[in-house]
Structure 1
């Protein structure tokens, strides 16, 4: 494929250039990048703008019309939001196999838009708000 001589400054520069080109290619065509690109292709223009700005997008459920916010990630990243846009209930549902975050988010989007009731029947509920910490922490002496 490529023949490099191990001596001289020019061969080191060529090797560095090839490694740089390879890492750029992998970065632009890796699984996460391809999954994110596919997700963006499936988003509506409003969802795409929201995703580019906030790293999440809103989806309307197919049966109830509830609004869900799908955050970037693979687990516990779907939150039902109320009319004020505040998190109400968290939902955790993921594909059986490990996938890139963009692929998981696309599967979640399609599932909520086509079979909301079926998805919520399988999903695990969680509290989207972090647990509150006690106001004062006692020190043991």
Structure 2
């Protein structure tokens, strides 16, 4: 560990600069950043462009040829897309261990592209459309 002596003028600025450098190094090399880089390396050029623009990418299932949209995240982030491009069914499946979002998404991509039937047999199905809630009207008094 480095020991720094407080030397007066300009030392606060040096400490702030050192702290900022340390934070940027952690942000660029932390688990989330590494997982995101690995995911981007595995995406096709079309998927990578879609992911960069929309924060999701689409995958084609290995058995049925259905399209799935994998959104950034770890839970309830896979949506089956119908012929009109709208979400039809939501699927929730993830690895047993807690992982960074990019690692989870990569596992989901590989699973859907290689063994779609087995994944869907284990996945939890959910409605991608939120139920309509009654509108609450508030009056100003």
- Using structure 1 for the length normalisation, give the TM-score: 0.93
Moved more, 130-139 or 96-105: 130-139
Paired residues of 1:62 and 1:114 also in contact (CA < 8 A): yes
Aligned-partner SS, 1:9: coil
Aligned-pair CA distance for 1:78: 0.2
Deviation, structure 1 residue 12: 1.7
- Pairwise CA distance, 1:117: 0.2
Aligned residues: 139
Which residue number in structure 1 is paired with residue 60 of structure 2?
Answer: 60
* Runs of 5+ unmatched residues, structure 1: none
The 2-side partners of 1:11 and 1:3 are apart by 13
Moved over 6 A (4+): none
Aligned position for 1:29: 29
2:76 is aligned to 76
Matches within 5 A, 1:1-141: 1-135=1-135
SS in 2 for 1:48: helix
TM-score computed with the length of structure 2 as normaliser: 0.93
Any conservation in 2 of the 1:78–1:91 contact (CA below 8 Å)?
Answer: yes
Indicate the RMSD between aligned Cα atoms, in angstroms: 1.6
d(CA) in 1 for partners of 2:131, 2:76? 15
